[in-house]
Amino acid sequence: MAASEAVPFSKTGGLADVAGALAKSLDQLGHDVTLFLPDYFLLRQNKGSLPAIHDTGLRFSIQMNGRAVPGAVNWTTLPNTNVRVLLVRQPEYFDRRHLYQEDGHGYADNCARFCFFSRAVLEICRQMILRPDVIHSNDWQTGVVNGLLQTQYNGRPGFERTGSVMTLHNMAFQGRFWHFDMPLTGMDWRHFNQNQMEAWGDLNLLKTGIAFADQITTVSPTYATEICTSDEGYGLEGLLSHRRDDLVGILNGIDDDVWNPETDHHIPAPYSIDTVGEGKRQCKAHLQTRMHLDQRADVPILGMVSRMADQKGFDLITGAAERILSQDLQMLFLGTGDAYYEGQLRDLARRYPGKVAVEIGFDDSLAHQIEAGSDIFLMPSRFEPCGLNQMYSLRYGTVPIVRRVGGLADSVENFASESESLQTATGFVFGDYSKELLAETIEKAIWLYHQPHIWRQIVRNGMSRDWSWTRSAHEYVAVYRRAMERRTRRSP
């Protein structure tokens, strides 16, 4: 597996959770997993809980547009697993304060950085004689892996039967660079064409990964359909439609060792599906105290842990805020993002003291406490390839309100009426991207919150679902086998 980030070594978003958790689950199923990551040396210096990291002694050099760039490899293991982690060491590229950008601007040499990483993955496999059955790459940062595997490394010793899988986590980020960066990929200019690596005159690393992969996955079944349309394909819908037979959506899972209300050390009163009533009551009181909300057990708390951006529906929330806050409820927010929305939420907290609370930043412990102490979780996203917080919420008995997009549509079952869906509903789902519809859905949820026999059943339905990575890992194994079969058919 090759990824630009993975928990617990580095993280900016859901990719890191997926890479770490999937590797762990594949290991638990008995597979032999090696995880490649850039060695962000400066970032891992502050992570005291990481396992010991050692130098493999391997040194290599890659020609980057006529310049020899040296690299080294450190190794460790993923905590509590047998997964080998190989950290690609290149100080010029990876000893930085952040992974991809600073002050809102991407690093000018991002193309070189991640072309080097992708090329290093294959070169390290060759020199360490890993002989992989499958190489699973993730997002644009590793797109070149698939191109090189099917061209320069095709048929070379150790790669004769190696299949390739590409996972698309978010089509909005494609790794588009000017065409003169093409030599950095190490691939021939003949591949810079509209079917493989070129898009609208630019070098596109995500397109490269899609075009050359044996199999393609994305992070939910609904998103797999959405990205084949002009609305969510971001210009690559034609290629994805062409590859539709090789594209499958696999819903992400969650790490039950981390997100489990029965064993969660971040929350004041762990609880199970049988003790959720009393457990959430204590967690709610603790959360109200910590966030300076009025101490009221009878009022529902609507929580949100999110990047504060249009994609996550904050324009709907701020647009409908006055109507929402006319209800007898409390709201709290944790996250960072667009300065405009940070300011709007701070203003709401100032105008509604004791009713609205905002924490700008990220606090992992508080994120767990919001999941445990809230009654309702908001995710009114404009688009959402998969989403994880709705699954955390269901696991913690916190009823999600979501929009019918991507993984939200695949993981939350709407409450339509008591007679139709009481035994299956796990939350509230609305369709059109509308602040009025969001407000109506919240009003419906608040009304049902005060119908205890209905609310308890919705909570139990959600908590009884299996969101573990084991389910998803089995689906990935099936994709790996198809990739190997396709590669075998194409091999000389």
Provide mean pLDDT across the span 316-337. 96
DSSP letters for 296-348: -SSSPEEEEES-BSGGGTHHHHHHTHHHHHTSS-EEEEEE-B-HHHHHHHHHH
The radius of gyration of the chain from alpha carbons, rounded to an integer in Å, stands at 23
Length of the chain: 492
Residue 355 has pLDDT above 90, yes or no: yes
Residue 320 dihedral angles phi and psi, to the nearest 5°: -105, 10
d(CA 249, CA 388): 15
Question: Please, how many CA atoms are within 13 Å of residue 404, restricted to the half-sphere of its CB?
Answer: 11
User: What pLDDT is stored for residue 44 in this prediction?
Assistant: 80
Distance of CA 207 to the CA centre of its chain: 19
Inter-residue contact 5 to 16 (CB < 8 Å):
yes
The 10s digit of each residue's pLDDT in 89-119 is 999 999 998 999 988 799 999 999 999 999 9
Alpha-carbon gap, residue 251 to 86, rounded angstroms? 27
Contact 78, 23 (CB under 8 A): yes
Domains and CATH numbers, the chain: 14-253+470-490 (3.40.50.2000), 276-466 (3.40.50.2000)
pLDDT (average), residues 30-53: 88
- Between CA 79 and CA 460 the distance in angstroms is 32
Phi/psi for 117 (5° steps) reads -60, -45
Q: Are 110 and 139 in contact (CB under 8 A)?
A: no
Buried/exposed code over 229-247 (b: 16+ C-beta within 10 A; e: otherwise): eeebbbebbebbeebeebb
What are 272's two structure tokens?
Answer: 């199970």
pLDDT digits (tens, 9 = 90+) for 283-307: 999 999 999 999 999 999 999 999 8
Q: Does residue 45 carry a pLDDT above 80?
A: no
**Structure confidence at residue 12 (pLDDT):** 85
Arithmetic mean of pLDDT, 397-410: 97
**Which residues are within 8 A (CB) of 334 and not within 5 positions of it... i.e. 6 or more apart?**
303, 304, 305, 306, 358, 359, 361, 362, 363, 366, 367, 370
Please tell me the pTM assigned to this model: 0.90
Calculate mean pLDDT across residues 216-222: 97
* Position 390 pLDDT exceeds 90: yes
3-class SS at 464? coil
Of 401, 410, 409, nearest in space to 441 by CA: 401
